A and B are shown apart, each in its own frame.
Chain A
């Protein structure tokens, strides 16, 4: 059974950084892209970027370029999303989601993690 299990809730002060993990189960890690999507309270879904677990290459949404870094650890089938210089507007639920097969882009996000609440407050 395909599952994405994320790390627990985080609280940070403005200006700090946060790193969220997403551990994958039930499929070959290197074969599928992984996305990060966030959702601010009462708002819609916002795509942050994608990582190729095989090569480690990334594409980030323009809004987050310079502040976000996505990495992976193939030994533990885990991807990470680090967001720096946090501000109150970054308070949101952060989701990882599995994408399409590597080298077959523009597919759906077919399995989602449970979400990680990140609160930014002084």
Chain B
């Protein structure tokens, strides 16, 4: 079965750039989606179709997807961005989630 791998944790200083990776076999041939989940809240879609931002998502959130790796980039990271981030794709008509990455803004 298809799997997506994410680092369990990433740390970043306020104002710096955070990059969260998501790896899967030929992931670049599929669409990647990213969700932000703050403690005690439901997930929120922040990137769809590799690099598109839903309305209301700040411009500092961007995405890319090539080869075996999709990347979520947060430029000028703010304290409010501290959350768990999940990548997601589709394989054989089923939804696959990565294990999630805890972003800490120190």
**What residues make up the interface of A, taking CB atoms closer than 8 Å to B?**
35, 37, 44-47, 50, 59, 61-62, 95, 97, 105-110, 112-115
The one of B1, B48, B99 in contact with A108, judged by C-beta atoms closer than 8 angstroms, is B48
Interface of A is mostly: loop
Complex Cα distance A44/B102, Å?
Answer: 11
A sample of 15 inter-chain contacts (CB < 8 A) reads A37-B97, A44-B84, A44-B97, A46-B97, A47-B97, A105-B90, A108-B33, A108-B48, A108-B88, A109-B43, A110-B45, A112-B42, A112-B44, A114-B42, A115-B42
A108 to chain B minimum Cβ distance, whole angstroms, is: 4
Bin the interface of chain B by size.
20 to 34
The residue on A at minimum CB distance from B54 is A110
The one of A45, A62, A112, A113 in contact with B97, judged by C-beta atoms closer than 8 angstroms, is A45
B95 to chain A minimum Cβ distance, whole angstroms, is: 4
A45 and B43 contacting across the interface, CB-CB below 8 Å: yes
Q: Write out the residue numbers on chain B whose beta carbons fall within 8 Å of the beta carbon of A47.
A: 94-97
The residue on B at minimum CB distance from A50 is B95
Interface of B is mostly: strand
Q: Write out the residue numbers on chain B whose beta carbons fall within 8 Å of the beta carbon of A45.
A: 35, 37, 43, 86, 88, 97, 100
The one of A37, A59, A114 in contact with B93, judged by C-beta atoms closer than 8 angstroms, is A59
Q: Mark B30-57, 1 if CB is under 8 A from A, else 0.
A: 0101010100001111001100001000
B45 and A106 contacting across the interface, CB-CB below 8 Å: no
A-B contact sample (11 more), CB < 8 A, given A109-B33, A109-B45: A45-B86, A45-B97, A47-B94, A47-B97, A50-B95, A108-B48, A108-B88, A109-B35, A110-B54, A112-B42, A112-B43
Complex Cα distance A64/B86, Å?
Answer: 21
Complex Cα distance A97/B88, Å?
Answer: 14
B50 to chain A minimum Cβ distance, whole angstroms, is: 11
Q: Write out the residue numbers on chain A whose beta carbons fall within 8 Å of the beta carbon of B93.
A: 59, 105-106
Given A50-B95, A106-B31, A108-B48, A44:B42 Cβ within 8 A: no
